[in-house]
Amino acid sequence: MAEKVLMKGNEAIAEAAIKAGCMHYFGYPITPQTEIAAYMAKRMPKIGGTFLQAESEVAAINMVYGVAGAGFRVMTSSSSPGVSLKQEGISYIAGADLPALIVNVQRGGPGLGGIQPSQSDYFQATKGGGHGDYRLIVLAPASVQEMADLTVRAFDLSDKYRVPAMLLADGTLGQMMEPVEIPEPDVTPVEKPWAVNGTKGQRQHNIVNSLYLKPDQLEKTNFERFERYKQIEENEVMVESFMMEDAEYCIVAFGIAARISKNAVIAARKKGIKVGLIRPITLWPFPTDTIARAAEQVRGFLSVELSMGQMIEDVKLASSCKKPVLLCNRAGGMIPSPEEVLAKLDELIQL
Amino acid sequence: MIVFEKPKALTDAPLHYCPGCTHGIIHRLVAEAIDELGIIGKTVGVAPVGCSVMAYDYFACDMVEAAHGRAPAVATGLKRCMPENIIFTYQGDGDLASIGMAETVHAATRNENITIIFVNNAIYGMTGGQMAPTSLPGQVTQTSPYGRDVTTAGYPIRVSEMLSTLEGPEYIERVAVNNVKNVRAAKKAILKAFRNQVEGKGFSLIEVVSTCPTNWGMTPSKALEWVETNMIPYYPLGVYKDKTAIAENEGKEG
């Protein structure tokens, strides 16, 4: 077993990515994720990998597109405004069925917003973000350990399904330090017969492309891709349920909001309130079945978010609005306290 | 004895280009260079958005279709992870000099060891003839119906001159394909641009002054004349940067 080291969340992502066999990183500085670039700038030259500070987020994601097309593990990282700039490239990566990892250490928005933590890119991450019909596999860590573990998981899932993956963290998780055991995963390279790495005179040319001028062909690629999305929804949901066995009320929260909510659950239980927590770890695929089952059990849901309320729409959909769903939120870089969560929980109980 | 045949680096797919368009010639020159250097098995090309968007069907090497203007960034990614492979982009003026200017300049200043074929025909062809960053002063296009007015639309960009002010790039030359003599010179330049990459010399960009009879509203032969009378005076042909030649000359003088 590897020893635990004290690391920032951002650094844990970077080291775990290297351990997962990612030898190529392209990025552009933006707070609060710049430690990832700084870490890569130090490490990559020592191990024969690529660190390149691109001229823009737009260029960085297109460099990622090139490396992904060649069949290598590759990543970029940014924070909210920068991830908006990457959307064009992400859509192309999705449209060309390439695996890649995009890290978003979110900050408050819209616009230039602020530099404090936020979860207000939930819609952008889980509903598309760029143009066209596509999905990203979206993983939401809630600790520095998960920043590392889910980075490895993201690479694996992305390779397995040829779907780009996003690690959706926030400024708190990126900046905070916790003991972490950096994973040592098996990195046997996945076969990528579609990669553009030179025909070597031994096969027809490969083409990495998302252009289909004939609508019936474009439709076919969309349907084929959505078959893969269906498999992901069936097989890859990750969710943590905490004190849900006898729960009468259910908090739904992810990332740093879930950690705050866990404290609120423990405090509420001490007061005799039967409340539990469902923490989606994959935001897409969303743990719809878990929420649907909970809707049969609990009297109401509380969605705790660092946004004006985005995931709450998925909670309402998944629960078919069978029970009331309230929102406990702070926005713009503010973080709700466990007390604020408890106060909102009281409101739910009073309904 | 075969004295003339289609280069192996071209597929059998019929080209979609308009009659009289010089893309076909330039495709052929690129393919000949790839054949002559024997690099087809390790070459990866990057197609742009524009008239040559479907170049991925025409070149027989591995190909990537890039987003509009992003080909140099995509090529950078490909080259960084496969330094032994030969990476080229094939881009038009809107792609390279307008929406992709940042990617172009920064690939050049990093001296990325890639080859860029920059086809300048002073117009957006694929979208039906709009003003390009290289459209000439007074040139009538769909979006400059009264002629390009430099007081509101600015001046056409001389890409080769501009990039040659950078320390980074190895080799920049402007050529044309409007007559046999110029086509032969263009071939030589394109071959050199690929050979530079094989030899690890760095960023090479060949600007090819080209035609668009359809959107210029001219016959193919009139378009070739217009290159001579209007394009080349604004875009003079020649070598704008050649680091190796400069170094060799300095060696001789020293």
Domain A240-350: CATH architecture, name and number where available: 3-Layer(aba) Sandwich (3.40)
- The confidence score (pLDDT) of residue A225 equals 98
Distance CA A326, CA B171 (A): 63
In this prediction the pTM is 0.97
What are the helix (H) ranges across B59-179?
71-81, 93-94, 101-109, 150-153, 159-163
Q: Does A209 touch chain B (CB under 8 A)?
A: yes
Q: Where are the beta strands (DSSP E) in B129-237?
A: 171-176, 204-209
Q: Is residue B28 part of a domain?
A: yes
Name the band, by pLDDT with cuts 50, 70 and 90, for residue B253: low
Answer yes or no: do A67 and B54 touch at CB < 8 A. no
A52 within 8 A of A63, measured Cβ to Cβ: yes
Is B254's pLDDT higher than 60? no
Chain B partners within 8 Å of A62 (Cβ): 66-67, 70, 73-74, 77, 103
- The confidence score (pLDDT) of residue A1 equals 56
- The tokens 């690129």 sit on which residue? B30
CATH number of the domain that residue B120 is part of: 3.40.50.970
- The confidence score (pLDDT) of residue A6 equals 97
- Which residues face B254 on adjacent strands? none
- The confidence score (pLDDT) of residue B191 equals 98
- At A153-178, the pLDDT tens digits run 999 999 999 999 999 999 999 999 99
Half-sphere exposure of A286 (CA within 13 A, CB side): 21
B78 within 8 A of A70, measured Cβ to Cβ: yes
Distance CA A190, CA A20 (A): 12
Ramachandran sector of residue A273 (left: φ over 0; alpha: ψ -120 to 50; beta: rest): beta
- The confidence score (pLDDT) of residue A111 equals 97
- The confidence score (pLDDT) of residue A2 equals 72
Answer yes or no: do B81 and A205 touch at CB < 8 A. no
- At B3-47, the pLDDT tens digits run 889 999 999 999 999 999 999 999 999 999 999 999 999 999 999
Tell me which residue in B59, B62, B74 faces A65 most closely, judged by beta carbons: B74
- At B54-95, the pLDDT tens digits run 999 999 999 999 999 999 999 999 999 999 999 999 999 999
- The confidence score (pLDDT) of residue A254 equals 98
Percent of chain B's residues with pLDDT above 70: 99
Answer yes or no: do B73 and A197 touch at CB < 8 A. no
- At A219-271, the pLDDT tens digits run 999 999 999 999 999 999 999 999 999 999 999 999 999 999 999 999 999 99
- The tokens 């998780």 sit on which residue? A173
Q: Is residue B5 part of a domain?
A: no
**Residue pairs between chains A and B whose CB atoms are closer than 8 Å:** 131
Could you list the residue range(s) of the whole structural domain that residue B216 is in? 23-253
What residue spans in chain A does CATH classification 3.40.50.970 cover? 5-198+223-235
Distance CA A87, CA A65 (A): 12
Q: Is residue B6 part of a domain?
A: no
Segment B166-195 shows an average pLDDT of: 98
Q: Which residues of chain A have pLDDT under 70?
A: 1
User: What is the dotted CATH code of the domain comprising A5-198+223-235?
Assistant: 3.40.50.970
Q: Is residue B41 part of a domain?
A: yes
- At B104-139, the pLDDT tens digits run 999 999 999 999 999 999 999 999 999 999 999 999
Q: Is residue B16 part of a domain?
A: no
What residue spans in chain A does CATH classification 3.40.50.920 cover? 240-350
B45 within 8 A of A71, measured Cβ to Cβ: no
8-state DSSP, A44: G
When divided into structural domains, chain B yields a total of: 1
- The confidence score (pLDDT) of residue A75 equals 98
Segment B174-195 shows an average pLDDT of: 98
Ramachandran sector of residue A201 (left: φ over 0; alpha: ψ -120 to 50; beta: rest): left
- The confidence score (pLDDT) of residue B226 equals 98
ipTM summary value: 0.96
Chain B partners within 8 Å of A199 (Cβ): 40-41, 60-62
Q: Is residue B177 part of a domain?
A: yes
Q: Is residue B1 part of a domain?
A: no
- Give which of B69, B134, B111 is closest to B196, Cα–Cα: B111
Distance CA B130, CA B143 (A): 5
